[in-house]
């Protein structure tokens, strides 16, 4: 199979297919059959990212929380969807951050975020830089590299081995932070599909009170989670 330019790679396609199969096989009994109504990750039309960016996001998330670990991975929990929606929303636009100057993008990182660019712009500008670096260093775009090389490339990105302009230096920490958020946030934001991440760690979700368990020491909590929209698992 040849990877067409601008299309997700065979690898991410396979993962997405496996993910949608996993999602549709979640035990029936959910009050809202949202899982079945969603398009598969393969058919998902990103709101913010273009096709090339989307291929990268799919591939990067798949390495940050891989699917062959002890729990569900970022792909089957639809973390890339979460990131896409966040980029299109207030977070991506830094809508409620102080974004007036002066900007000192190369200030000591201990002084916090100093870039004039909102997170969505940082993704947009940093992804091509990183892709160029992957092609020069590893001979191909990130999503076409094997898993081991991808991990090495992401490690370089994290440790500063990839030269990014100062205003883009938060790219990797955003990518990692948003991936974790998409994994553990309520499913209403697009990730944590079917509350799989919550089931995995035993978090009971948006239930609100456990007064009857306060004095019940060393007992296993028997209930699965509930989401803000009322899904049960």
Q: Does 202 bind another protein (CB under 8 A)?
A: no
Stretch that binds another protein, among 78-86, 105-113, 142-150, 218-226 (CB under 8 A): 218-226
**Using a CB cutoff of 8 Å and minimum separation of 24, what contacts does 47-53 make?**
47/84, 47/85, 47/87, 47/88, 48/84, 48/85, 48/87, 48/88, 48/92, 48/120, 49/84, 49/87, 49/123, 51/6, 51/7, 52/6, 52/127, 52/131, 53/123, 53/124, 53/127
Q: Does 221 bind another protein (CB under 8 A)?
A: yes
**Size of residue set near another protein by CB under 8 A:** 18
Q: How far is the CB of 95 from another protein (least distance, A)?
A: 24
> What span, in angstroms and rounded, lies between the C-alpha atoms of 22 and 18?
6
Binders of another protein among 148-187, rule CB under 8 A? none
The single residue among 14, 21, 24, 31 that binds another protein, judged by CB under 8 A, is: 31
Which H or E run includes 53? helix 51-64
The single residue among 27, 111, 212, 218 that binds another protein, judged by CB under 8 A, is: 212
The single residue among 32, 104, 132, 139 that binds another protein, judged by CB under 8 A, is: 32
Where does this chain bind another protein (CB under 8 A)? 31-32, 207-209, 211-212, 214-216, 221-223, 226, 228-230, 232
């Amino acid at each position: 199979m040849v990877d067409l330019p601008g299309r997700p790679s065979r690898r991410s396609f396979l993962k997405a297919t496996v993910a949608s199969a996993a999602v549709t096989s979640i035990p029936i009994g959910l009050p809202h059959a949202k899982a079945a109504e969603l398009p598969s990750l393969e058919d998902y039309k990103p709101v913010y990212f273009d096709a090339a960016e989307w291929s990268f996001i799919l591939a990067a998330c798949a390495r940050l929380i891989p699917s062959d670990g002890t729990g569900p991975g970022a792909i089957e929990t639809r973390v890339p969807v979460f990131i896409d929606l966040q980029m299109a929303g207030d977070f991506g636009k830094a809508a409620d951050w102080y974004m007036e100057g002066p900007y000192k993008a190369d200030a000591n990182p201990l002084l916090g975020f100093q870039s004039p660019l909102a997170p969505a712009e940082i993704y947009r500008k940093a992804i091509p830089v990183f892709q160029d670096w992957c092609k020069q260093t590893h001979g191909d775009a990130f999503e076409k590299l094997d898993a081991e090389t991808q991990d090495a490339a992401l490690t370089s990105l994290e440790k500063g081995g990839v030269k990014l302009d100062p205003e883009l230096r938060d790219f990797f920490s955003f990518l990692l932070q948003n991936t974790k958020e998409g994994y553990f946030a309520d499913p209403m934001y697009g990730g944590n599909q079917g509350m799989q991440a919550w089931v995995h760690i035993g978090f009971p979700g948006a239930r609100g009170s456990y007064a009857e368990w306060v004095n019940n020491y060393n007992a296993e909590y028997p209930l699965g989670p509930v989401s803000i929209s009322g899904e049960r698992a």
